[in-house]
Amino acid sequence: MAIAASLPKHIALHDRKLVRRGLIALLILWPWLVPAQPWANLAVRMSVWVLAALSLVVLTGWVGQVSLAQAGIMGVGAFTAAQITRHTGLDFPLNIAFAGIASAGIAVAIGIPALRIRGLYLAIATLAFQWALEQSLLQQHWFSGGFNGVKIPDPHIGPYSLTNDRLMYYVAWLLTGTIILLVANLRDSRTGRAWFAIRGSEVAAKTLGINVIRYKLIAFAVSGFILGIAGSINLNFIGQATPLDYNFGKSIQYLSVAVLGGIGAIGGAVLIGIFFVFLDGWFFPEILTSIAGKIGIITAGLLIFTLIRNPGGMITIREDLRRQHLERAARKAARTNRTIVLDAAATDSVLTDGEVTISDDAAPLLPSATENGHTGNGSAERLRALLTERGPRLIRADSPLLLEATDVSVRFGGVVANDEVSLEVRRGEITGLIGPNGAGKTTFFNTVNGLVKPQSGRIRVAGTDITDEPTHARARLGMARTFQIMRLFPRLSVFDNLMIGTHLQNDTGFGGNLLMSGRSRSEDVRLREQVRSTLALLGLERVAHERVAGLPFGILRLVELGRALVSQPKLLLLDEPASGLDVGETDSFAEHLFHTRDELGITILLIEHDVRLVMMACDYVYVMEFGRNLAEGLPSEVQTNEAVVAAYLGEETPALA
């Protein structure tokens, strides 16, 4: 790493190209350079391992769903293909597709419980699934042929046999290479971003309009399909499928490979997969069918060792480096392709107006200038000027209703969290929702958002009843939110967090993403441009490529606001966005709120404890206490309402700036 960095760039690049070409040449010539037994044969087995690890990279690394049943799923594909070949004569290469489809089907079947069962519990469910498959389906004579397995007629291409032949090497690695490319396409597209979102936080993913059920099932299907391909390679190459090749031990070996490769990294899975089979062949050449044996002990031992030493895997490929590379490529594409940038012009013109407001005031938010300078006189004066210009209106505007909640009641067991709460938000306003801790404000937000189902009451957006809509459908109708306890995607950069927010602005589908269609690519370029503008608007350019975990709190609040903004909502729900911010950061945040309302035309519903911010920014205020409506009115009215003062503000009204 250090050596590569000290070399002049062009030399390093040149070397890398040379190495890559050399490797590809070596891969192509491999079966002719070594004796077929064991080395060419091992190379075919390597492809099976690599694919199995890859299926876990997708499912566990990217979507966060653990599966201990990968070998069993692979087996279902292999035996289905074997039986179809035996009974119908539809052999290679058609049986590859059958295997893929069968494995994808069984993977989706285990994926359905996974829609509800998560995390470590999914580990138990899939472990039980592997065990049940092994003991039941893979023991059925009609399916798996019992202990000795199922033999198929010699697969061939024209007159050339594939069993134990060099030709199979090319078939296997062509399939593997294609799958690697396609899977990488998915990762870098809308589908991949939706997966990363689910891995980070399912709740946040839903609020960004991601249909979690759909994307999880896609992931299970993709993972299963890859396993099926692996199973068919095994089948066609050996000319036989045996249950022992698909037992629990194998599942764990594949898991070990994926974990050692730094689960989530394609390159790691490939390298470790190859390394393991190499190891197996080098030390234990006699065990070609690899029934358990020493390799099982070694993989399990290495899995344990890796988890203790570095759960990130033996090979840590820096995700952010790759991302930055992508980002540069996209920028280059944007420069050379003016027509695409023109698509974004509409957004741009809105955003350039905004630059007047943010100008230099956003800068102090950045880590490089956290001293208190920005709370000085200049800023306060500017804020005062801004408030006289944009602060609360003195009468309630007569604009149309955007959000209408009537008599919403929510109970958790015996606790009544919301008791017939009603609230109206008018278009183009900042509406505040305040109340003491435990008043039920966040529960109300979750209900509006669809994360909590109310026992009674209706919620309408722009006249449409959405009470029974799921969260992601509400996002589609133009609802975005932030969370009191932030739900960012900590392992991704600021930029990628915002990119996930563009999910609803991107109408490319799975097929286009898989093949990286022109449309898929141009949408990416357009949305990257949009994210860049939003980052500029919020003054976040300097941290754009930093990983979210570890950034200061004030920045994170802005990142979450930015992620909501890029989804271009009509209604933005902000849950205590100023908690944890200091006075200067809060003022700056207020400016962003005004900008969002006035320039971007987004209506805001704001929960806040900071009375100063509420009085400064809100056009209309609702007050809740003990789960009920307590009062409502213009900020100045609420401030003097005796019930509110008694319940919430304390004995006397605090003086406001």
8 A C-beta contact, residue 250 and residue 230 = no
Site membership for other proteins, residue 440 (CB under 8 A):
no
The helix/strand/coil state of 411 is: strand
Q: d(Cα 139, Cα 223) in Å, to the nearest integer?
A: 24
Within 8 A by CB and 6+ apart from 102, the residues are 76, 77, 80, 81, 228
Considering CB under 8 A, how many residues would be counted as binding other proteins? 50
Yes or no: say if 602 and 572 are a contact pair by the CB < 8 Å rule: yes
Which window, 136-144, 494-502, 543-551, 576-584, contacts other proteins (CB under 8 A)? 136-144
Pick between residue 177 and residue 296 the one whose CB is nearest to other proteins. 296
Give me the count of residues in the chain: 657
Write each residue from 234 to 263 as x if it is in contact with other proteins (CB under 8 A), else as -, in one continuous string.
--------------xx--x--xx--x----
Strand partners, 426: 401
User: Whole-number minimum distance, CB 437 to other proteins, in Å?
Assistant: 17
- CB under 8 A: which stretch of 133-141, 548-556, 582-590, 617-625 binds other proteins? 133-141
Structural contact between residues 225 and 100, judged by C-beta atoms closer than 8 angstroms: yes
Among 36, 94, 101, 117, interactor with other proteins by CB under 8 A:
117
**CB of 138 or CB of 421, closer to other proteins:** 138
| Residue 140 near other proteins by CB under 8 A | yes
Give, as one character, the DSSP assignment of residue 633.
Answer: E
Q: 5: which 2 tokens?
A: 């960095």
Does position 202 interact with other proteins (CB under 8 A)? The reply is yes
- 8 Å CB contact between 92 and 277: no
The residue among 583, 571, 573 whose CA lies nearest residue 611 is 583
The nearest distance, CB 61 to other proteins, in angstroms, is: 12
Of 89-97, 137-145, 373-381, 569-577: span binding other proteins (CB under 8 A): 137-145
Establish if 120 lies at the interface with other proteins (CB under 8 A).
Answer: yes
- Note whether 550 binds other proteins by CB under 8 A: no
Q: Rule CB under 8 A: is residue 147 a binding residue for other proteins?
A: no
Q: Return the residue of 341, 451, 536, 583 that touches other proteins, per CB under 8 A.
A: 451
Binding map of other proteins across residues 13-42, x = CB under 8 A, - = no contact = ------------------------------
Q: Which helix (H) or strand (E) holds 492?
A: none
φ, ψ for residue 537, nearest 5 deg: -55, -40
Task: Give the 3-state secondary structure of 117-173.
Answer: CCHHHHHHHHHHHHHHHHHCHHHCHHHHCHHHCEECCCCEECCEECCCCHHHHHHHH
Determine, following the binding rule CB under 8 A, whether residue 12 of this chain makes contact with other proteins: no
The upper half-sphere exposure of residue 14, i.e. CA atoms within 13 Å in the direction of its Cβ, equals 5
Using CB under 8 A as the binding rule, whether residue 491 contacts other proteins is answered as: no
Interface with other proteins, residue 311, by CB under 8 A? yes
- The sign of the CA dihedral 590, 594, 599, 600 is positive
Q: What is the distance of C-alpha 420 from the center of its chain?
A: 36
Tell which one of 7, 29, 124, 549 touches other proteins (CB under 8 A): 124
User: Which parts of this chain interact with other proteins (CB under 8 A)?
Assistant: 66, 68, 113, 116-121, 123-125, 127-129, 131-132, 134-137, 139-140, 201-203, 248-249, 252, 255-256, 259, 292-294, 296-297, 299-301, 303-304, 307-308, 311, 412, 446, 451-452, 487
